[in-house]
Structure 1
């Protein structure tokens, strides 16, 4: 009925009530059809903290933003052994589109940067 304001006259986001009901995106839920789509749905659910993601849901309409996109790309690259560029999250914002783009990528071996051994001090670079 009335938006809570801070003493400065700005919207007091902490005083807003929690949203009610499920997130409405305007798209009907569609389950994953392929192994790639199923893996992407799982990763999206973990990155976005959602219980259910359909293959037609738009990443940015269901809570995604640039930082979560970076997290998603990192997880996809590690767990699916591909090199998915960050821009592809913006070009292919649904699971279905992203799965299609991933199917066209070359499979790569994920390489972990080795951890440096424990020392009392480390050399400094310029």
Structure 2
């Protein structure tokens, strides 16, 4: 696969393997494929946001920002920030427990610090061991 369209085509050809009750379609991929390219103004906005985050982390001497999973994913992607997600808990749904997580987003090249933070969080909480997802082999 080389393009987003290749991925969309593959998923359509293998719906039984690629889709689940939690992700029943690929609407995000399709919307991304149909989106117009970024404008110069939009790219400048992302650059300003990136500088603002760096300044905030400098002012408060932060190694990372923390949020619920998916809150920072897009921001991290466009800003070039490393990000890691670890289990935080489970939502009870009709399909069984659905995991959700917490994310640690750091500065450029701070992957080592993020791995240490994520590891410490997992060792302190042991969330991953508390509930086995419905689809996991026993």
- Give me the TM-score of the superposition, normalised by structure 2: 0.25
Greater helix share, structure number: 2
Which is higher, the Rg of structure 1 or of structure 2? Answer: 1
